[in-house]
Structure 1
Amino acid sequence: MRILLLVFLLVGYSSCETPEQRARQLVSTLTLDEKISLVHGSRGSYVGVTPAIPRVNIPQANDQDGPQGESFLSRNTNVTSVGVGDGLKNVTFWPCTLSVISTWDPELMEQYAAAIGWEQRQKGVNIHLGPMVNIARNPVGGRNFESFGEDPHLSSIMADRYVRGVQSNRIVATVKHFVLNNQEYNRTTTSANAGIRATWEIYYPAFHSAVKAGVGAVMCSYNRINDTWACENQETLNRDLKGKMNFTGFVMSDWGATHSTAKAANNGLDQEMPDGTYFGQPLKDAVINGQVSQERLDDMVVRFLTALYRVGIMDELQTGTTTTNARNSTHDALSRKLAAASAVLLKNDDETLPIKDTVKKIAIIGLDGNDRVTAGGGGSGGVVPPYVVTPLQGIKSRAGPDVQITYDDGSDLKRAAALAAKSDLAVVFVSSWSSEGSDRQNLNVQSNGDQLIEAIAAAQPETIVHGFVAGAVVMPWHSKVKSIVVQFFPGQEVGNAVADVLFGDVNPSARLPVTFPISYDQVPAEKKTQYPGVDNEANYDEGLFVGYRWYDQKKQKPLYPFGHGLSYTRFKYGEAEVVENSDGSFNFTFPVANAGKRSGAEMYLSYPTSALEPPRVLRGFEKVQLEAGQMQKMNFRLGEEDMQIWNVVEDRWTAVKGRFTAHFGSSSRNLHTKKAFNRN
């Protein structure tokens, strides 16, 4: 009886151990060589591999990209992919991350991330190299389509849900690229030079949100930060990330971003990828000769194993392989739902959309309508798409046999214009494209897109433009067309999603997560010293004025503002009321009504202002589904944390006191109601 009781007590004690305690106990049993093997990558069938240690039941860690990548189908269909990444087959070709961000729907984001995580686990992956949360500082950024947009609050909310979704599958998420990695031009040599307040208020928040959500890994970036390499930066890694943010997981380098051994290890890097150039034998030697302490090496390994324990990798055998078929019909349906939900209706004169039953002849024009569907961007996370539904296929299927659908690739402007003129309506498909490794050369749609739209609009008054874009684009023709819809790289179900929106089966409710300028002359970080930098020094001296904040500060009107997006119905806002709570927070209420004839989703955004901040700063958003004629009272809480700034003197968050005004509306410029209040 005493033996049984002892066993019970031991099991009970073990089950109460934290992931970190379990990791420390295991590390105490490892040899020096075994510890070294866990702090650098090695060769394998995945993009990154940390070898197993069977003696103590440590499994092999398999790292795989997931945000975006590039593949090509036959018949010259230019599709690029989002999914498990790095060329793996039998996975879903998802919409890009910025596409899902444009839904402004945290629930959808978590579903998306959970589905990606599930497919990665089927493929034998246990460390997911995402999300990529670097702020879209300049609209030509090559990886903006992987990003979470230009605003730190929106990015933070979505980063939290992405991390939770991925890690619900016993997969470690890796938030990247820490930090100030906001351009591809000279990304491996440029120093991003930013002030402390801007770093904390603009560039850190999404990372901090991921840390609070329990993210297991942080990937440090290629660039230098204030002239020190990101992967050996004491201030950003040790002081801020592991210190002030209390990150307890591990820091891995981007592939080839390690530049030293003792300096990198002592300043916060825990794992070198993809090999052991610096953290293999050189690190072992550094530990033996005292340049790196045994305690620091143990900490590096503990952090790595803690992340594995925390999501359950150490407790459940990973059985997937790279050849496993990870696709299923549920994910195909979710891909279509996400793509349709991400369609942003920018313009809709005369209610041209949705397409009416009286329309019997539709001209589909442009390579992106069928022959070259730009459904994703380029980079490290490439998959082989299982299929792509083209817009022509999707529209034909939805329109039915009574509607004549014709197609022209747009290569001959006169021929395409003649086809448009003979039709009741023309839909011109255009695109922009970008990739990891380089920034966009301009903000125009690619090929002859601008000229094609001009020609079609001149021939057919009922012209709709539908763009598949990498981020913001300029539209010199926007006043000449009736309707404009954009999607940020919508993935394999692009054609069906297009049809869902154009025919009104889905009422658009997506909003822009980035500002669309009138021209490239009207963009933040417009000086060469700011972007791309001079002599490999990029100065972030625009400070807090990034994205819509810059346009507000400069009193410039963009083509389409941050948060813009129309619906097939109309919404009305009532006056806002405010109540101060005993804890110093404020509750705002205001009515929103669907004043149209069909159901739809409206999203309100909150922008409190104060003298010490940019003119308006996003602090909240919520999407609500309303039937025609329905009214709902909206509630918004503004907490003390929403009225703080980073105090550079005291090196901490400090609440601002004074008079504020809370603005509520459907975009950064379309503000419907406001309420002033005092915080004493």
Structure 2
Amino acid sequence: MKKRHITVLLLLYFFLSSFFGWAQSALYLDESQPVEVRVKDALSRMTIEEKVALCHAQSKFSSKGVPRLGIPDVWSSDGSHGVSDEKLWDEWNSAQWTNDSCTAFPALTCLAATFNPKIARLYGTSIGEEARYRNKTMLLGPGVNIYRTPLNGRNFEYMGEDPFLASRMVVPYVQGVQSNGVAACVKHFALNNQEIARGEINVNVSDRALHEIYLPAFKAAVQEGNVWSIMGAYNKIWGLHCCHNDILLNQILKNDWKFDGVVVSDWGGVHNTDEAVNGGLDIEMGTYTNGLTTQGHFPFSSYYLADPFLKGIKSGRYEMSKLDDKAGRILRMIFRTTMGANRPYGRFVSPEHSDAARKTAQEGIVLLKNEKQFLPIPEGRYKKIAVIGENAVKSLIVGGGSTSLKAAYEISPLQGLKNKYGESNILYSMGYASGRPLYGAEEPSRLNLDSLQNAAIETARQADIVLFVGGLNKNYFQDCESGDRRSLSLPFGQDKLIEEIQKVNHNVAVVLLSGNAVLMPWLNKTKAVVQGWYLGSEAGNALADIISGEANPSGKLPISFPRKLEDAGAHAFDQLCYPGDGNNVYYKEDILVGYRWYDTKKIPVLFPFGYGLSYTTFQYGKPAVSSKTITAADSLEVTVSIKNTGKVAGKEVVQLYVSDETSSLPRPVKELKGFEKISLEPGEEKTVRFTLTKEDLSYYDDIKKEWIAEPGKFKIMIGASASDIRGTVDFNLK
């Protein structure tokens, strides 16, 4: 009996010794080891089959880890604006969990409108905490595609028309998300600027426009934000799909920019095994779907980077180094996230996240018009306030495609106004009705639209003041993935309704909730206009804060509002410029996107880029430069004083534009190269400082394939918007 016990103990000793010896030698498990050491060690232990399994989906939103080695699966979640609810294993439908209702943050157009990188960091940190709490490896956002046309259905997901603004806002967002051990996934790389024919359209764009307009925000996310993953786009460039495009992914992203993270396909964006293997893709997701719906069941083993890839490796068709590079990148992301050292626990739907959502909304709301200080409306000023419009009660956190959220709560504009002014002081009438969204279409409303309009007009007649809450609504062909808008006008008869209301009540303020510019034929007769974007869970509270004056509006437009659609650069040519012929689209406006186009072509706009009013006023001093002559090796300091000359505290966004007056190549009249948001008490004055470098003065020469800072005369323009320049100063570059 004793000998048996001794034998058992000896076996146990040798087993444990062997186990702990193995564990000790398993460097990939040791969080104290450098990530590259862990990656190399893990790769040495994996079979070919295990490496290939990393490279393709195993469910709608996950790909495999290495269970044998204790390496976890990769779990991703939709949502630049919140963490999406859990989905069924291989369906887009909700899994109907009861514990996955998130905080809805404002859409990224609103975040861009804050012109505040500190808010971007708060936003990224907050949404990263929610993703971490849900144990996500990768958050599929933010989006930084440039606002080329006001018809693009996904513009509300992006950060406006200016590459400098998008670059400065995406970096802190990425850093905030990744501080929680969750990989941000910047999308859609690149040139996903329309939804029409998005899966097939080949974008024809100059190298100069590509590098100056459409790539800078991605480059900043990689080189400054150190983003851990990037999502490819559906469209083509140079005749190749972006999700496996050698020039875009290998040469530019991985070689030139030194990106060491993971390239993941957009769902259904992969089309060919050879190109997927050799074209720079690392993880293939959603194949045999159109990005939103399942087109028949298709085994994951049949994905282009699944069995066909494995067969090609074993036959010698594909180099083993291609597989090791992909697997290594995926492991690197896993070791930075779910197997990272000191990964925090996150938190979910917390009071702090509600505060972050509300602050973002407050700072992003833009006051476009305020005749004779019509706003703010202090409590008690009016006995009867009419709130009219479907958007005052319609949920605007659902719809829109992949950004649709299952939120823990949503304060509607109507509820927020009732909370602020008292329920008895608010009269509500719907006024208009949108239809029920169907995939790729919209079923017209069954409500009687004439009756709705008549009731709204009567409600307006009885009120002291009217707050019309309208705009777009994330239905198909409004602001929604998979379909562009069909018109720049407000839908559902809103323009006519506003004009009829103005006939019976002259005290009308219009609140627009949208992610795109709209026409305003009723503008001259409207006392105030507020651009509210899609504001998330705290929408009603934030709007009520601004309207009541509890918060002073400080948002600035990240997009230009044209007077008519044909004024926009993408619409100034022919159908080949937008939306293309189904096969090709040609960016004929080239580098002149947004305000660059309107300024250079001297086309007046309804509201310019960078524009936004306040309840106070600001006085700009004369700008000064540290030197009148610099070399390319120098930096230039620009200073300007700003004073609050009003009676209330406020925030102003001081904008710096650069004009190259002696360039040998055509350049825009001016380009944004600096902005600073400052807070000032009444009577307070501050000095704002900007630093310009060679990069801020350069253009991309697509003949030489390099950035050029050309000697000559430059002008610094300090403004409150692209069209409101308060001071200029010249300098020379030697």
**TM-score normalised by length of structure 1:** 0.92
C-alpha displacement of 1:57: 2.2
What residue is the counterpart of 1:129 in the other structure? 140
AA matched with 1:205: P
What residue is the counterpart of 2:421 in the other structure? 399
Q: Give the whole-Å Cα distance in 2 for the aligned partners of 1:397 and 1:299.
A: 56
Q: Give the whole-Å Cα distance in 2 for the aligned partners of 1:16 and 1:414.
A: 70
Q: 1:16 to 1:400 in 2, by over 3 A?
A: closer
1:622 corresponds to 2:633: no
1:651 corresponds to 2:705: yes
What residue is the counterpart of 1:172 in the other structure? 183
What is the DSSP-based 3-state SS (H/G/I as helix, E as strand, rest coil) of the residue aligned with 1:346? Answer: strand
Structure-to-structure mapping, 1:28-67, within 5 angstroms: 28-43=44-59, 47-67=60-80
C-alpha displacement of 1:375: 4.9
Q: 1:408 aligns with which of 429, 443, 453?
A: 429
What residue is the counterpart of 1:381 in the other structure? 403
1:110 corresponds to 2:121: yes
- Contact 2:200–2:582 under 8 Å retained in 1: no
1:340 corresponds to 2:362: yes
1:505 corresponds to 2:550: yes
C-alpha displacement of 1:446: 2.4
Specify every segment of 5 or more residues in structure 1 that has no aligned partner in the other structure, as ranges: 1-6, 73-83
What residue is the counterpart of 2:296 in the other structure? none
Q: Which moved more, 1:302-311 or 1:178-187?
A: 302-311
Q: 1:207 to 1:465 in 2, by over 3 A?
A: same
Q: Would you identify which runs of 4 or more consecutive aligned residues in structure 1 move more than 4 Å?
A: 7-11, 14-17, 68-72, 84-88, 314-320
Q: Give the whole-Å Cα distance in 2 for the aligned partners of 1:553 and 1:301.
A: 48
AA matched with 1:251: V
C-alpha displacement of 1:88: 7.8
Q: Give the whole-Å Cα distance in 2 for the aligned partners of 1:560 and 1:235.
A: 38
AA matched with 1:306: R
**TM-score normalised by length of structure 2:** 0.85
Q: Give the whole-Å Cα distance in 1 for the aligned partners of 2:213 and 2:651.
A: 29
1:601 corresponds to 2:651: yes
1:120 corresponds to 2:136: no
Deviations 1:104-157 (CA, angstroms, capped at 9, x unpaired): 111111111111111112112111111111111111101000001111000111
What residue is the counterpart of 2:233 in the other structure? 221
- Contact 1:194–1:226 under 8 Å retained in 2: no
Q: Give the whole-Å Cα distance in 1 for the aligned partners of 2:674 and 2:726.
A: 15
- Contact 2:104–2:397 under 8 Å retained in 1: no
Q: Which moved more, 1:625-634 or 1:417-426?
A: 417-426
Q: Give the whole-Å Cα distance in 2 for the aligned partners of 1:404 and 1:336.
A: 24
Q: Percent identity?
A: 37
Q: Which has the higher contact order (CA 8 A, sep 6+)?
A: 1
Q: 1:227 to 1:256 in 2, by over 3 A?
A: same
Structure-to-structure mapping, 1:224-373, within 5 angstroms: 224-274=236-286, 275-276=300-301, 277-311=303-337, 313-315=339-341, 326-356=348-378, 357-370=380-393, 372-373=394-395
C-alpha displacement of 1:307: 2.1
What is the DSSP-based 3-state SS (H/G/I as helix, E as strand, rest coil) of the residue aligned with 1:629? Answer: coil
1:23 corresponds to 2:68: no
What residue is the counterpart of 1:676 in the other structure? 730
C-alpha displacement of 1:305: 1.2
Aligned residues: 654
AA matched with 1:449: Q
What is the DSSP-based 3-state SS (H/G/I as helix, E as strand, rest coil) of the residue aligned with 2:277? Answer: helix
Q: Give the whole-Å Cα distance in 2 for the aligned partners of 1:376 and 1:450.
A: 24
C-alpha displacement of 1:646: 1.5
Q: Give the whole-Å Cα distance in 2 for the aligned partners of 1:382 and 1:400.
A: 31
- Contact 2:337–2:343 under 8 Å retained in 1: no
Q: 1:427 to 1:379 in 2, by over 3 A?
A: same
Q: Give the whole-Å Cα distance in 2 for the aligned partners of 1:620 and 1:345.
A: 22
C-alpha displacement of 1:670: 0.8
- Contact 2:120–2:173 under 8 Å retained in 1: yes
- Contact 1:68–1:377 under 8 Å retained in 2: no
What residue is the counterpart of 2:469 in the other structure? 429
What is the DSSP-based 3-state SS (H/G/I as helix, E as strand, rest coil) of the residue aligned with 1:488? Answer: coil
Specify every segment of 5 or more residues in structure 2 that has no aligned partner in the other structure, as ranges: 1-22, 86-94, 287-299, 433-451, 474-478
What residue is the counterpart of 1:79 in the other structure? none
Q: 1:318 to 1:335 in 2, by over 3 A?
A: closer
- Contact 1:95–1:489 under 8 Å retained in 2: yes
- Contact 1:69–1:380 under 8 Å retained in 2: no
C-alpha displacement of 1:286: 1.1
- Contact 1:58–1:314 under 8 Å retained in 2: no
Q: Give the whole-Å Cα distance in 1 for the aligned partners of 2:466 and 2:123.
A: 33
- For the aligned residue pairs, the C-alpha RMSD in angstroms reads 2.6
C-alpha displacement of 1:638: 1.0
Q: Give the whole-Å Cα distance in 1 for the aligned partners of 2:282 and 2:362.
A: 41
AA matched with 1:190: I
Q: Give the whole-Å Cα distance in 2 for the aligned partners of 1:591 and 1:86.
A: 54
Q: Give the whole-Å Cα distance in 2 for the aligned partners of 1:32 and 1:359.
A: 73
C-alpha displacement of 1:532: 0.6
AA matched with 1:279: L
C-alpha displacement of 1:282: 0.4
Deviations 1:494-515 (CA, angstroms, capped at 9, x unpaired): 1111110100000000011111
C-alpha displacement of 1:641: 1.1
What residue is the counterpart of 1:76 in the other structure? none
What residue is the counterpart of 2:166 in the other structure? 155
